[in-house]
Amino acid sequence: MDFSIVVHHGIQITDGIMFLITETTVNTWIIMGLLFLFGIVVRVKSRKWDFTKKPTGLQNFIEMCVESWEKFFIANSSTRVLYLAPWFFVLFMFLLVSNMIGVTGLRPPTADWGMTFPLAFSTFCLIIFAGMRHRPKKYLKGIFLEPLFVFAPLNIIGELARPISLSFRLFGNILGGMILLSLLYGIAPIFVQFVLPAPLHMYFDLAAGALQAVIFVVLSLTFVGIASED
């Protein structure tokens, strides 16, 4: 059985450097297309909305989403970095859809460390950005002089471990679910493959996928909030 990522196409840039178009890339494009389509539909429809009257239908739903996301953001992070809320909403929607796409039979893009590590690394960059923008002196002091300057290497290793632990948590969960389900489809006889996988799909794709998306975003929000607040 082969669980490796299918490479559809490789473009040679220079000697030894290849730009690979893999299964992950294609599935990411599919998810991006879905999200872009939804966003464009909402944007086109929102030109007719009147924000002084009572909202109805789709407008009601979108306003509820935005409002509850802001509440969630403030509960887990701080009001100082509220301008980052749209980025984390996009991250959350992307992770939610890409973890759940295993239901359709496609390989989830998050079952590839090359997908989850850049997402975690963006969180790492945002932590440094929030710390340097909102309280630069205290943030640098917290890393280099806290509790003594001798512990600076330990603090730096602790900071560097954050994106790795974030990305491995998401990657391992989604990859584990994917491998378990493909083992079931590969080994089990044909009459077992009809009804029995449904609860497993429900747990490994829907429940665990949503839970891991929430955990990834909540942890990122907490780190950014801690870095920006005094």
Q: For the CB of residue 102, give the shortest distance to another protein in the complex, in Å.
A: 17
Q: Write out the binding residues for another protein, residues 189-228 only, by CB under 8 A.
A: 211-212, 214-215, 218
Please, what is the minimum distance in Å from the beta carbon of residue 130 to another protein? 21
DSSP the chain: ---SPPEEEEEEEETTEEEEEEHHHHHHHHHHHHHHHHHHHHHHHGGG--TTS---HHHHHHHHHHHHHHHHHHHHS-GGGGGGHHHHHHHHHHHHHHHHGGGGTSPPTTSSHHHHHHHHHHHHHHHHHHHHHH-HHHHHHHHHSSS-GGGHHHHHHHHHHHHHHHHHHHHHHHHHHHHHHHHHHHHS-GGGGTTTHHHHHIIIIIIHHHHHHHHHHHHHHHHHHHHH--
Q: Which is nearer to another protein, 5 or 30 (CB)?
A: 5
Q: Does 165 bind another protein (CB under 8 A)?
A: yes
Q: Does 7 bind another protein (CB under 8 A)?
A: no
Single residue of 26, 132, 179, 226 touching another protein by CB under 8 A: 179
CB under 8 A: which stretch of 20-28, 87-95, 153-161, 171-179 binds another protein? 171-179
Q: Which is nearer to another protein, 3 or 203 (by Cβ)? A: 3
Minimum Å gap between C-beta 91 and another protein is: 16
Residues that bind another protein (CB under 8 A): 3-4, 165, 168-169, 171-173, 175-176, 179, 211-212, 214-215, 218
